[in-house]
A and B are shown apart, each in its own frame.
Chain A
Amino acid sequence: MLQWGRKNLSWLLGAVSVLVLVLTRAAPYPLEARHEGELRPLLLRGSVASSVSKAHLPLLIDLYWLRTLIGMAEPETEQRNKNLYAYGDFLTDLDPRFFHAYYFTALVTPYSLGGDKFVNGDLALKMVRKALARFPDDQRLHMQHAFLLTYIEHDSRAAVEVFLKMAKLPNAPAAAIASATAIFIEQNDFDAAIALVSEAMGEGGHGSTTLLADRKKQLEIERQLRRLDEAIKAAAVKLGHTPESLDEVIQAGEWSADETHDQEGGELSVEAGRGRSSWLVGRMEGIRKW
């Protein structure tokens, strides 16, 4: 019996081990449960990674950069965008001069919930502000900052401040300044919009001063048309119906008979209850109506 036991001890131990392995088997613990919805990518701290892998840091940075780009191609979810922010933050900690890492991750971080509701906007703003601390004169970042403030933070005033700062930069793009005036239009502040364009034209070096000059004319005519809109509304109250022509507004005493043309010679008229100019192709709308 003892001899049999000695002879087969290894078999016995092996069988017991297999039995224990089978009994203690377990499925992998779900990753989602482990992090309670906080699925952050596993990343080292920037300072640790840069010290430990200093000999091969550029290669490591680029491998993470490619991983980030591949992540950008994955289906968009709130969590994916949050992860991309984490990658961008990590990359820019490792290499604070990596402009594209700031720029692209700030672009893809906000997640639209429909309409003008966004999540992760705070993260995108954080990334843009981190980038601006490093590249204070970059126009693309200023544009991005202003649009995040407008769309996500709904803080048009702060966005205007950004555009005003941007207009003072050397070689500020004319198209960007022209677009920025949309925020002023939103607030019905045409004086500020015209002042911004005039300032930008005065700075010079904007590539296309013709574009800015055209924008200024458009703003001045739009200001006139907004006045006409108010006059049409006032005339509608007096007449009991919406006036269908400029003559009706003049006859109601709400518009001067001398002001039938705008400053560029375009003929003023009334169309669907709103003022029109033959010089201005369409009415200028606020940024949310684009």
Chain B
Amino acid sequence: MNGVVSIALNGFREARRNRVTSVLFVFAFIMVFSTTVSVEFTVATFDRVMTDFGLGVIGLLSPALTLFLGTALIPREIERRTIFMVVARPVSRSAFLVGRYIGNVITVAFLVLVMGALFLLQMQFAGATSTYSSGIHREHLIALYGLLLEVVLLTAVSFLFAAASSQYVSALSVTCLYFIGHMSEDLYTLAGRSKSDVIRVVGRAIYYLLPNFDRLDFKARATYFDPTSNAELLSTTGYALAYTVLVLIVATRIFERRDFK
């Protein structure tokens, strides 16, 4: 257990030192700040534009960083042979993978939380100083929570592909899976309209087997302050965590059998 924690913290430190992460951090802050500028161009829809831009920027950058870190970390360790230093120690491959996973999640979650705090500050400030904005709502917090769940699940999926293939193949696969995961409800509906039984079954299979990222996306609800029940929130959390655990189990099995030579 201590090994996992050490690897996780080490991963967080490494990611923090990474130039791409730093650049993305700076870019993220500029983008979140630019929300204030975007509001200057609008009329009568200040709440909406601030919410969509703020959450939209976080929702755009957090998967980008997740993909970059999640798919690059393991292949890079293998390529640079640094993995042998760890494997030689009394730490199982599973513990290494889970530790690296936790380290990655902490890094991206930290970015999401800091950007989220900045976004909420802007909403609060706008709410206090303008009659056009109504400040922070519960739906804003739920949307941020959904983004965190997305990071947790997407990192796990990235690690699954990274454990099995090269950096580029896994980056491409995870990017496709991310978009399909957001479209799976549409695919399910479209397939359901087909007259072919095969297409209907495939559509249903895609919907249930692939990660349903759309389920974790509460950004559109925050736009109109549509309420989300606690039961739905609990169910979504359960779905994301259970799927993550399953994906990590498969990833560790593959990683344990992988030949690093």
Residues of A within 8 A of B (CB): 51-52, 54-59, 61-62, 65-66, 69-70, 97, 100, 104
Contact present for A59 and B217 (CB under 8 Å): no
Nearest chain-A residue to B40 (Cβ)?
A66
Say what secondary structure dominates the interface of chain A.
Answer: helix
Q: Which one of B71-79, B98-106, B219-227 is at the A interface?
A: B219-227
Docked complex Cα distance between A70 and B41 (Å): 7
A51-B183, A54-B186, A65-B45 given; A59·B56 CB < 8 A: yes
> Is there contact, CB below 8 Å, between A59 and B45?
no
Q: Give 11 CB contacts A-B under 8 Å.
A: A52-B179, A54-B186, A55-B179, A55-B217, A56-B56, A56-B60, A58-B55, A59-B53, A61-B52, A62-B53, A66-B42
Report the separation of the CA atoms of residues A287 and B186 in the bound assembly, to the nearest whole angstrom.
Answer: 50
Contacts of A54 in B (CB 8 A): 182-183, 186, 214
New A-B contacts (5) at CB < 8 Å, excluding given A97-B224, A100-B43: A55-B63, A55-B178, A58-B55, A62-B52, A69-B42
Tell whether B93 is near chain A: CB-to-CB under 8 Å.
Answer: no
Establish whether residues A58 and B41, one from each chain, have CB atoms under 8 Å apart when the complex forms: no
Note all chain A residues with C-beta closer than 8 A to B217.
Answer: 55
CB-CB under 8 A from A104, the residues of chain B are 43
Closest to B53 in A: A62
Q: How many whole Å from B236's CB to the nearest CB in chain A?
A: 16
Residues of A contacting B179 with CB < 8 Å? 52, 55
B82 at the interface (CB under 8 A from A): no
Taking CB atoms and an 8 Å cut-off, the chain B residues in 157-201 that contact chain A are 178-179, 182-183, 186
Contact of B57 among A59, A61, A69, A97 (CB under 8 A): A59
Q: For residue B182, which residues in chain A have a CB less than 8 angstroms away from its CB? A: 54-55
B48: interface (CB < 8 Å):
yes
Of A51, A52, A58, A66, which one neighbours B56 at CB under 8 angstroms?
A58
Give every chain A residue within 8 A of B48 (Cβ-Cβ). 62
Interface contact A100-B45, CB-CB below 8 Å? yes
Residues of B within 8 A of A65 (CB): 42, 45, 49
Contacts of B59 in A (CB 8 A): 55-56, 59
B1 at interface, CB cutoff 8 A: no
